[in-house]
Amino acid sequence: MSQGPALLKRLRCFGLARRARYAFRHSGEWGLRGLSLGFSVCVLGSTFLPCLNACADETNRRSLEIFEKHVRPALVDHCIRCHGPDKQQGGLRLDTADGWAEGGDSGAAITPGDQESLLLKAIGYDDVALEMPPRGKLPDKTIAAFSEWVKTGAADPRKSMIGSNASGDSSAGQSESNRDSKSSSVGRDFWSFQPVRAPAVPIAGEQWAQSDIDHFVFSRLQEQGLTPNPDVNRFVWLRRLYFDLTGLPPSPEEIEAFVGDESPVACETLVDRLLDSKHFGERWGRNWLDVVRFAESSGGGRTLLFPDAWRFRDYVIDSFNRDLPYDQFLTQQIAGDLLECEDADQRVRNLTATAFLLLGPINYEMQDKDILEMDIVDEQLDTIGKAFMGMTIGCARCHDHKFDPIPTRDYYAMAGIFKSTRSVIHSNVSKWNTTPLPRSAAEQADYEQHQQSLAKLEDELKLAKMAWTEAGGKPQSDVSGLRAVDPARVNGIVVDDSMAEIVGDWTESTHTAGYLGERYIHDASEDRGAKRVIFRPAVPQAGRYQVLVSYSASANRSKKVPVKIEHADGHDVVRVNQKRRPSIGGLFESLGDFDFEQGPAQIEISNRGTTDGVVIADAVVFVPAGQELAGLMQQTAERMQSEDELARIKEFDDEVKRLETKLKMMRKSVPKQPALMATVDAAATTDIHVAIRGQAHLKGDLVPRGVLGAASWGSFPALSKGTSGRKELAQWISHPQHPLTARVMVNRIWYWLMGRGLVSTVDNFGSMGSLPSHPELLDHLASQFVQQDWSIKRLIREIVLSRTYRMDSKSTPDAVAIDPENRWYWRMNRKRLPAEAIRDSLLSIAGDLDLTYGGSNIKAGTSIEYGYQFTSTRRSVYVPVFRNHLPEVFEVFDFADPNTQSGSRTASAVASQSLWMMNHPNVIARTEQAARQLLDRSLTSDEERIRFAHLQVLSRPPTERELTVATSLIVPKDAQEDSSSAASVQRYAMLYRVLFQCLAFRYLD
């Protein structure tokens, strides 16, 4: 609640205080009415903003309010498609105030104050010749709003974008003065935008404290009249530590060894051992995977598998185990592909890291690809904002952030960076970008050798074919049904795409049959107008030639692919319909006859103006005019005469076929190069326009690429041409001076260990988040983190060895009376055991846990997540995370929802958890397995066995009461009860289930 005054103060600055007070008070409560008022500030706040600077006058204010609430949405939904930037039916634009004032062919559309305005007549359907919108009359309510708006002066903040001072749509880009007053100067005062300072360690609690952390904590406790809880016993501390650092239970042997260890540095030794264990990265990597919404499928409507996402997961695990400095860790995730690197391994890690940007829940099926692209950018910004900076940047997509100093311009400044990054490859259902996995030196040598052998074989084949043709071999006259046609079989001057000059980013493909040579290339429907392929056939002697192009036809192609022919008399552009099957032999389409000089001619296929589909470039063929391609083929056929000759041809033919088969096999055996999910900078990098109200098709101001103004200390570096700015963005976020980055991360680490963040909203350091309970401690940790080379392990070590971490979690009435929520850490927070630890413990205690480190874990041959059977016994961190289909144990025990970024987990108590624990066949099977193994141990009494089982599951011996209950469950009551070994297994399995179900297992005390 204490963020209240600060928020109010800032909101008062722009006249929203009254509404904001409601917003604030009620957003903290469940009263429905209150919440809706809070909501209305978020939704409608923009209503009041534009009028604050210039026009205090009430009528204008009212007019603007109507405009924002009713008129603008109606214009966007019903009018601007035909009267906007793209089309101006009747010469009229309704996307700016100037547009309607100037009007169209029929004159001004609106005269402020005039109820006879043309636009009102049109929407009122007063005149049959002028009924707008044509599809149907607007609701009466909207028409009334238009009328009222015109009456009150038709206030419209949308300035013309054509003029010199283009400011676009003001709900998106606020006017200058307003933006300043709201966004930067006011917001910068907020605590989280202040530079991190290293405060002095308080002198307090000398008797108790063992580290700087303890001094900070004790000093606050003292102020509040609280005293720290006593230390926990070694059993509890050990269990805490094992699960917190490795996610696995300590074995009974490890427990006994530690409890009996009398060394003064027993704790330090153990902490260091666990930090060095590979399991540390598996546990902490998973923490990070929550933060970055890691998943192995795209989710949503038509979910697609991410078959290579596991590489990112392994990269994260590995980075924690190496203790990769956090500044590098985040830089690699944002801009790994743009970083210098020392060796191939480093390059692989850097590229792999950028999968961070591509792992979002994206609806690749969306049909409007412009919107899809902006949705991807939005998801990336949202994740970066929350994960690294605790900022909800996403709000600013449609309007200036209502609570934090993030104007829409900042959003689009950052969005430009990601719009300049290639993240997606389009088709009906689009796909994320991939890049071939760089080869190691040995793999590269292997590959080159293979390529050489291939080239040699190709030469052999060429010779064999020449011999065959000379002997009178007959080229096929129709290639229908053939996948690829060898250029050597075509009589004419052939230039394949592999010999052409390629401008822009073309994708190689062999997907659709019917092409010349080894492949064709396509433009992926991207960068229209920027991609060209130039073929230069060598014309042997001046004359008239027929020009033919080949392409593999398909329904998704463009119908108007421009082919430009430079000939002796100038140039011509012929449009080719690549949807239609080529008319000559199913392979070639003739473009006509042209005169050429001797020497290289020039034919250019481009994707200019091809908005209707994919453009294919495959091959260009010149044939002397008058000779048809088919005719040429026939000529060779007629040359065939005698039986002898035919037999001879067959010999050559057999040889060609043999070599072709061999070549085919060899091509198949090319050493595989797996794909990586990774980004690259786009072919065209560019600043982008503000999208008005977040609508991709409504352009506002063009905004230079940059970062959040409120968290900047200098200007964003000028970007060199052709770079997206991602590297610069990453450098800005990871800069030691950045006020948020280190604070957000140390707070996360604190949360993961202490169960509650110093800022309790770990993903929100904005004004709607909570204020830090211990701002000095937070800054102390943050500054130390940066000084210690952003080492995560060092920070963890310091926290877990503190006295604060060692406190008992039990409540005492006196302390509860003062600090019920344990805001001041007078006790340790009890933590819920996460889903992964529940599953790993079950497997581990049954002796079934497979501890293989790293590597893919999706079953081979899986093409869709639905119906996937989760049978793996590897650690939970390696279990595939599908967005629409999680293993049941994850689903019921509050595993992080991979559909949203979230650095904290919920802790629910629902019946499905209990049903799982009581009845799931895996629980039954694992506990029976554990029981069998227990009975095989050289333990001599039931009491020993009960004690051992307790150590395994609860990491402590049984209490008196537990021992009594357990004994009555285990020991046959009389001779009538079955005392066979099978019955014993059943009884111990029951005990194990009780242990897994009981409260003491579910929590880390």
Partner 1 sequence: MNLMPSRRKALQSIGCGFGMLAASALAQREARAAKPANPLAAKLPPFAARAKRVIFVFMQGGPSQVDTFDYKAKLRQLDGEMQTFDDARVLAKTKEIKQHRVFESPWKFKRYGECGQYVSELFPHIAEHVDDLCFLKGMHTDGVAHGPATLFLHTGSINLVRPSVGSWVLYGLGTENDNLPGFVTLQPSMGNGGPRNYNNAFLPAIYQGTAVGRAGTPATSAQIRNLRNELVTQQDQLKQFQALREFNAAQLADRPGDQELEAVINSYELAWRMQKSVPDILDLAGEPEHIQRMYGIGNQATEDFGRQCLMARRLCEAGVRYVQVNYSDNGNNPRWDQHSNLEKHADHALATDQPVAGLLADLKQRGLLEDTLVWWGGEFGRTPYAQANGTGRDHNPYGFTMFLAGGGVKSGFSYGETDEFGHHAITGKVHMHDWHATLLHLMGIDHEELTFMHDGRPFRLTDVHGEIVREILA
Q: Tell me whether residue 619 or residue 771 sits nearer to partner 1 (CB atom).
A: 771
Does residue 811 bind partner 1 (CB under 8 A)? Answer: yes
Residue 325 or 958: the one with the smaller Cβ distance to partner 1 is 958
Q: Are 90 and 103 in contact (CB under 8 A)?
A: no
Query: Cα 470 from chain centroid?
Result: 58
Q: Report how far residue 667's alpha carbon sits from residue 660's, in angstroms, rounded to the nearest whole number.
A: 10
State how far the alpha carbon of 513 is from the alpha carbons of 52, 427, 509, 583, in Å: 63, 18, 10, 15
3-state secondary structure of 867: coil
Q: Left, alpha or beta for 722 (phi > 0: left; psi -120 to 50: alpha)?
A: left
Q: Is 899 in the site for partner 1 (CB under 8 A)?
A: yes
Query: Which C-beta is closer to partner 1: that of 228 or that of 958?
Result: 958
Residue 916 touching partner 1 (CB under 8 A): yes
171, 206, 311, 537, 972 from 492: Cα distances, Å: 62, 93, 48, 10, 94
Nearest C-alpha neighbor of 549 from the set 541, 537, 540: 537
**Binding of partner 1 by 89 (CB under 8 A):** no
Q: How far is the CB of 639 from partner 1 (least distance, A)?
A: 46
Return d(Cα 400, Cα 418) in angstroms, integer.
Answer: 19
The candidate with the shortest Cα–Cα distance to 1005, out of 215, 277, 234, is: 234
**Residue 866 binds partner 1, judged by CB under 8 A:** yes
Q: Which of residues 96-135 bind partner 1 (CB under 8 A)?
A: 135
Task: Transcribe 461-510 into DSSP letters.
Answer: HHHHHHHHHHTT----S--TT-SEE-GGGS-SEEEEGGGSEEES--EEE-
Question: What track of x and - describes contact with partner 1 for positions 303 through 332 (by CB under 8 A)?
Answer: x-----------------------------
Out of 75, 221, 553, 768, the only residue in the binding site for partner 1 (CB under 8 A) is 768
- Among 761, 784, 804, 876, the residue binding partner 1 under the rule CB under 8 A is 761
299 sits near partner 1 (criterion: CB under 8 A):
yes
Cβ of residue 371: shortest distance to partner 1, in angstroms? 9
DSSP 118-142: HHHHHHTT-BTTB-SSTT-PPPHHH
Window 196 to 225, contacts with partner 1 (CB under 8 A): none
* 621 alpha carbon, distance to own chain's centre: 44
Please list every residue from 964 through 993 that binds partner 1, using CB under 8 A. Answer: 965-966, 968-969, 986, 990-991, 993
Instruction: Say if CB 327 and CB 915 are below 8 A apart.
Output: no
Examine residue 773 and tell whether it contacts partner 1 (CB under 8 A): no
The smaller minimum CB distance to partner 1, of residues 375 and 681, is found at 375
Which C-beta is closer to partner 1: that of 227 or that of 986? 986
Among 6, 13, 17, 42, binds partner 1 (CB under 8 A): 42
In the set 219, 552, 822, 876, which binds partner 1 (CB under 8 A)? 822
Q: Judged by CB, which is closer to partner 1: 50, or 492?
A: 50
Q: How far is the CB of 985 from partner 1 (least distance, A)?
A: 12
> Which helix (H) or strand (E) is 547 found in, with range?
strand 543-550
Least distance in angstroms from the C-beta of 38 to partner 1: 5
Q: Interface with partner 1 includes 905 (CB under 8 A)?
A: yes
- Residue 534: enclosing H or E segment and its boundaries? strand 532-535
Residue the block writes with tokens 């994919």: 614
* Residue whose CB is less far from partner 1, 697 or 794: 697
Residues 6+ apart with CB under 8 A from 19: 37, 40, 41, 45
How near is the Cβ of 150 to partner 1 at its closest, in Å? 23
Kindly identify the residues of this chain, within the stretch 536-595, that bind partner 1 according to CB under 8 A.
none
Q: Count of CB atoms within 10 A of residue 880's CB?
A: 24
Closer to partner 1 by Cβ: residue 392 or 423: 392
Residue 537 near residue 567 (C-beta atoms within 8 A): no
Site for partner 1 in 19-38 (CB under 8 A): 27-33, 35-36, 38
Q: How far is the CB of 917 from partner 1 (least distance, A)?
A: 8
The distance of closest approach from Cβ of residue 993 to partner 1 in the complex, given in angstroms and rounded to an integer, is: 6
Does 817 engage in binding with partner 1 (CB under 8 A)? yes
The reply on whether position 998 binds partner 1 by CB under 8 A is: yes
Q: Scanning residues 344 to 403, which ones bind partner 1 (CB under 8 A)?
A: 361-363, 365-368, 375, 392, 395, 402-403
3-state SS class at 583: coil
Minimum distance of partner 1 from residue 627's CB (angstroms): 39
Q: In this chain, which stretch among 145-153, 338-346, 469-477, 815-823 interacts with partner 1, using CB under 8 A?
A: 815-823
CB of 401 to partner 1, least distance (A): 10
Q: Hey, which residues between 715 and 734 contact partner 1 (CB under 8 A)?
A: none
Site for partner 1 in 403-422 (CB under 8 A): 403
Phi, psi of 704 (to 5 degrees): -65, 145
- Scanning 537-545, 647-655, 839-847, 913-921 for contacts with partner 1 by CB under 8 A, the matching segment is 913-921
- List all residues 6 or more positions away from 224 whose beta carbon is below 8 Å from its beta carbon: 818, 819, 824
* The one among 915, 935, 977, 979 contacting partner 1 by CB under 8 A: 915
3-state SS, one letter per residue, for 787-811: HCCCCHHHHHHHHHCCCCCCECCCC
Does residue 166 interact with partner 1 by CB under 8 A? no
Given 444, 686, 959, 979, the residue binding partner 1 (CB under 8 A): 959
Question: Which parts of 593-652 interact with partner 1 (CB under 8 A)?
Answer: 611-612
Cα gap 413→509, rounded to integer Å: 35
Candidate list 440, 906, 979, 981; residue touching partner 1; CB under 8 A: 906
- Residue 912 binds partner 1 (CB under 8 A): yes
Q: Which two tokens stand for residue 494?
A: 């052939």
Q: How many residues bind partner 1 (CB under 8 A)?
A: 96
Q: How many CB atoms sit inside 10 A of residue 983's CB?
A: 12
Helix, strand, or coil here: 655? Answer: helix
Residue (219 or 392) nearer to partner 1, CB: 392
- 718: tokens are 């000028």
Q: To the nearest whole angstrom, how small is the minimum distance from the Cβ of residue 132 to partner 1? A: 14
Interhelix angle 960-970/942-954, nearest 10 degrees? 120
The minimum distance between CB 532 and partner 1, in angstroms, equals 23
- Give the Cα separation of 535 and 499 in Å (integer): 7
